[in-house]
Structure 1
Amino acid sequence: MDLSTGLVRTALNGTARVSPRLAGRWAIDLFWNPRSRVPVKPAEEPVMRQAERRELTVGGTSVAVYRWGTGERPVLLMHGWMSRASRWSPLVRALTDRGYSPIAFDGPGHGDSGGRGSTVVEFRDIALRLQAEHGERGGFAAVIGHSIGGLSAFFAVRGGVHADRLVSIAAPADFDCLVDGFRARFGLGPWAAPELRRRIEHRLFPGEPDPWPRLSATHQADRLTLPIMIVHDEHDDMIAPEQSGRVMAAFRDRADLLVTRGLGHRRIIADPQVIGAVLDFASATDPVG
């Protein structure tokens, strides 16, 4: 545990002894808001310079949007937590070479977008806006998400985003996984779970009783009839591979699974073999199975 994490742990758990609600307010702010914004890597700059860039406003927040290609066969890319659209550069290059038109965005609080942090609801709302503006025949050839972007992809497709195919890379099956991971990372006591859950419910679905099933990739699995591809590394140290196993169990014969080794959580989206498999899946016309 580094020094800053240790200080946060001590401060939050100490405050919780006096006022769990006050500690919960600080904890949820830390949960929602990335502590820093990652920069564009030098290797990503050539691809990003080729993008048609613009901004749109969603929920009062300015969102940076990037588009490549001719506009035909649009593919929506959703990045993960503390990431940005530029991390998709290797896949963007491969998609455009295959005739697709990738569309990516920096989530609120990430990259060049405004705001302090993102939610799956905001990712869905951004996806709906982009679908209205760029979706071919009212939808995308594929929606591809990494980490929390993968969970957001499921949430968006159930929430009105149309796609021929869905690809989820190194993503959790349930939002609970993110709450548990946050608690474990900072060593927070039992007080944290009910406080975080209460505040998450209030922000995402105010007044709705028990919204947590909606925050699962497996929620109403029978409603998602599109082909699905799940990609996960067996050595992922941020999102346990068992999370993808739960998604596979829910979708059975409608999903393909690719398990990698030695790529971890972040490098997996730039791996040439993963990119090749995702391209083959996105362009396949035969039934999955």
Structure 2
Amino acid sequence: MEPATGAADAALSDKGEQLFDLFRRPQGRSRPRPDERAAMESARTSELTVNGKVAVVYRWGTGERPVLLVHGWESRASRYAKAVARLLELGFSPVSFDAPGHGEATGDTTTLVEYVEIIARLHREHGTFEAIVAHSFGATATFVALQQAVCARRVVAISTVPDFSYLVDAFAVGLSLEPPLAAEVRGRLERQVYPAETDMWSRFSVFHGSEAVRIPLLFIHDEDDTMVDAGQGRRIAEFFGDRARLVLTRRFGHLRILGAPQVVAEIADFVSCDTTVQKSGTEVAAR
């Protein structure tokens, strides 16, 4: 190997390691907002250990008619506080968790596989969920969990990340990475985080195994989402055909959408609806 080539390879590896570390670690740990504290203080809490890290589980209600709430990357269960209050009023029993590296959980990072494991274990404990409500990366994990025998009567997916590849591509575009650096990040994910997943780029997707997802689906996406383009929401809803309904909002972006009153109302109406969802095109829920 020529010295210059070796030095270039070493520099690529070092930079790739830095970017890989940036990609896989949540940047900062968000705290509960003042209007979320009452709901979180009223929850019954427990712990669930996955890969040596402790996730914190929150439960409300009697345990009947459980609804699982799954947060996204760099988020936490408390972001569902308004939805928790409304679901309790309707007689549901919300269940949520802080994934490792998030909220009150331990660890400084987590993986999609750990998300899926937590969802699966809560499913074994609670049985079929009346619904799963999931946001962003949590929505991706939810669809992977549905591929693995987790059962729910319906799903609300908000600001959905379509697949794991989208996350890496968006990361590369956001940092203007040259193709070799983007490939280095992908390679490290394959070797160091998901070595047992030979088909991760196809399987970690809302589209994989979709024929088994025969339940009603509600997709909610904001037109002003700068993290996951609203076109992805349209694409996913169209893919699922008459199983899905798409609601588009405005001015909530990627993060504020969970607490928006219109979105909470959409969640509550859909979760408590007993009829099969019919395709109704695009609705604008808020302007």
TM more than 0.5: yes
Please report the TM-score for the alignment, with normalisation by the length of structure 1.
0.90
| Distance in 2 (alpha carbons) for counterparts of 1:210 and 1:62 | 27
Q: Of 80, 83, 97, which aligns to 2:89?
A: 97
Q: Which amino acid aligns with 2:179?
A: P
Corresponding residue of 1:10: none
Q: Is the 8 A contact 1:230 1:256 kept in 2?
A: yes
- Tell me the alpha carbon deviations over residues 25-56 of structure 1, each in whole angstroms, 9 at most, x when there is no partner: 22111111112101111111111110001111
Equivalent pairs counted in the alignment come to 272
Q: CA deviation at 1:16?
A: 6.9
DSSP-derived class of the 2:179 partner: coil
Q: CA deviation at 1:88?
A: 0.6
| Structure 1: runs of 5+ lacking an equivalent | 1-14
| Distance in 2 (alpha carbons) for counterparts of 1:96 and 1:26 | 44
| Distance in 1 (alpha carbons) for counterparts of 2:16 and 2:180 | 8
- Tell me the alpha carbon deviations over residues 118-144 of structure 1, each in whole angstroms, 9 at most, x when there is no partner: 2221111001111122x1xx2111111
DSSP-derived class of the 1:90 partner: helix
Q: Which amino acid aligns with 1:120?
A: L
Q: CA deviation at 1:204?
A: 4.9
Residue 48 (str. 1) matches residue 40 (str. 2): yes
| Distance in 2 (alpha carbons) for counterparts of 1:18 and 1:187 | 20
Corresponding residue of 1:270: 259
Larger deviation: 35-44 or 176-185? 176-185
| Structure 2: runs of 5+ lacking an equivalent | 1-6, 279-287
DSSP-derived class of the 1:191 partner: helix
Q: Is the 8 A contact 1:16 1:22 kept in 2?
A: no
Residue 180 (str. 1) matches residue 169 (str. 2): yes
Corresponding residue of 1:34: 26
| Distance in 1 (alpha carbons) for counterparts of 2:196 and 2:24 | 20
Extract structure 1 runs of 4+ deviating beyond 4 A: 15-18
Please report the TM-score for the alignment, with normalisation by the length of structure 2.
0.90
Q: CA deviation at 1:222?
A: 1.0
Q: CA deviation at 1:81?
A: 1.1
Corresponding residue of 1:257: 246
DSSP-derived class of the 1:113 partner: coil
| Distance in 1 (alpha carbons) for counterparts of 2:202 and 2:98 | 26
Corresponding residue of 1:82: 74
> Relative to 1, partners in 2 of residues 1:272 and 1:69: Cα closer, same or farther, differing over 3 Å?
same
Q: Which amino acid aligns with 1:206?
A: P
- Tell me the alpha carbon deviations over residues 35-91 of structure 1, each in whole angstroms, 9 at most, x when there is no partner: 210111111111111000111111211111110111001111111111111111010
Corresponding residue of 1:280: 269
Q: Which amino acid aligns with 1:100?
A: F
Q: CA deviation at 1:202?
A: 2.7
Corresponding residue of 1:4: none
